[in-house]
Amino acid sequence: MTTSTPASSFPAWFARGGTSNGLVIHRKDLPPESQWHKILPPAMGSPDPYGRQLNGMGSGISSTSKIVILGSPSREDVDVDFTFVQVGIRDGSLDMAGNCGNMSSLVGPAAWDSGLLSAQAKAVERDENGLQWATVRFLNTNTNKVMSSKFQVEGEPLKYAHQGEYAMDGVPGTGSKVIMSFIDPAGAKTGKALPTGNPVDVLQLQDGTKIKASLVDVGNPGVFITTESLGLADHMSLTPAIVESNPELKKKLGEIRRAGASLMGLDPNTESVPKIVLLFPSSGYLPNSTPVAELIATFGAIVGAVIGLTLWQTTRTAKPVRPIDKFAAAWFALCGFLHIAFEGYYLVYRYQLPGMSSLFAQLWKEYTLSDSRYLTHDIFTVSVETITCLAWGPLSFLAVVGILRDWHSRHVVQVIVCTAHVYGVALYYLTNWNESRVHGVAYSRPETLYFWIYYVGFNLPWAIVPLGELDHRLQAPRLT
């Protein structure tokens, strides 16, 4: 289509991307960027003091007042460049500080259909059903980040196949799926995934209120806060329309966003970045009802009972049990109980765990604050816990029986279990460290309780004690 404005006219496409829509324009059809402010706002119907954009292609809300500008690639590793423009509805401003993920999804199909791609870039592949798929790599000039989209094509010549069975929340009907990949998205505006270096920061507002927030720069900078921190109980009804209709809440969110922007080193007066993100428990999640201190005390009482019962058993053997072996019996009994009962509980109920309120379920949900992999069914974590439950748990109890009955073969069993514990703890820490250092993904919260007491304190003994046991057991046959 051709869009007319008071200043000029230019060819453009009107298209939807995700839950947004707007104009798609070739850069070659536009004047220099310094002149965009004269022609792009009128094309969308801005500025409009009434906020309706009746004279243009916008419809009075931010998600439909957007423009994507396509251009020739500026780098060898991409097929096309694109610039995202957010048009101010009432003031006609052009905001290019950040990108839009929704509109990014239409870049590949639009570049393909408009003839902007080279013949080499228009290669396709067939899937097992004979469907043809194209992949386009593009550079977002707003963030200087590379993305790619994979989408279905059909016909002769090949065009984007927009019809399909994929449904998206917020969009009526179905359509063809566009698979997006964001290449190294961290640090788009600040250079780091966590601009402050902290997973959680505290923002102080003008009235003295303190709000905990995660300041994250991945794709677009964002200020992540919980609805609980805002004192909002009915988070399920917190729709965008309700936020817009609540001036007090909207003002507070704006202040939080600006405080986060300042802490991230961004301009707090730029409205498009950072985004404000509200977090709330999923509908299937049941918060713990038992206080943390009570949970830890109950768990400690169970551990004490297991150790006490085992030590009592060491007083009932035919031959006196040495103090070092009493300690070993208590340790392996504790290991066996935790591996089979506690970790086995996790394996059986890991999918239902978020919505459960039993003692073990609450203990596991509390521990996931130190390692969120347990709540996401991480394949490494599940695999290790399966081996631990099925192998090292029974062998731990076998070691206890061996100690109580004074089997000579118990040394072999103890060496096997201790070696497995040291190896398992090493893998546990190393995989977490690798994700944090190499990929910037942190699974543990930084607070003392969660990091030092749960993550370190509850796991490191399974490296320290087994190493001491190994040293003693490897010497035991020689001493005998």
- DSSP 8-state assignment for residue 61: S
Which tens digits make up the pLDDT trace of 214-237?
999 998 899 999 988 888 777 666
More confident residue, 244 or 278: 278
Q: Calculate the CA 275 to chain-centre distance.
A: 16
Q: What's the pLDDT band for 332 if we cut at 50, 70, 90?
A: very high
> How many other CB atoms are found less than 10 A from the CB of residue 125?
10
**For residues 231 and 385, what is the distance between their CA atoms, to the nearest angstrom?**
38
Q: How many CA atoms lie within 13 A of 177 on its CB side?
A: 8
Q: Is the pLDDT of residue 475 over 80?
A: no
Residue 122 neighbours by CB under 8 Å, 6+ apart: 112, 134, 158
Q: Which of 76-80, 217-221, 294-298, 339-343 bottoms out in mean pLDDT, i.e. has the lowest?
A: 217-221
Query: Which pLDDT value is given to residue 231?
Result: 82
Is the pTM higher than 0.75?
no
Token pair for 375: 């709540």
Q: What's the pLDDT band for 476 if we cut at 50, 70, 90?
A: low
Q: What is the maximal distance between C-alpha atoms in the chain?
A: 102
Q: Where are the domains of the chain?
A: 2-183, 201-279, 292-479
Mean pLDDT of 254-271: 93
Query: Which pLDDT value is given to residue 477?
Result: 53
Residue 433 neighbours by CB under 8 Å, 6+ apart: none
Q: Calculate the CA 56 to chain-centre distance.
A: 38
Beta bridge partners of 70: 26, 82
Percent of the chain residues topping a pLDDT of 90: 77
Coil, strand, or helix at residue 242? Answer: helix
- DSSP 8-state assignment for residue 352: T
Pick the CATH number of 201-279 from 3.20.20.70, 3.10.310.10, 1.10.10.1200, 3.40.50.720: 3.10.310.10
Q: How many CA atoms lie within 13 A of 254 on its CB side?
A: 11
Torsion sign (Cα): 221, 226, 231, 235: positive
Cis ω for the linkage preceding 41 (within 30 of 0): no
**For residues 103 and 66, what is the distance between their CA atoms, to the nearest angstrom?**
8
- Give the closest residue to 151 by CA, choosing from 105, 193, 191: 105
Assign domain 2-183 to its CATH architecture: Roll (3.10)
Long-range pairs for 245-250 at CB < 8 Å and ≥24 separation?
Answer: none
Token pair for 237: 């009804």
More confident residue, 368 or 444: 368
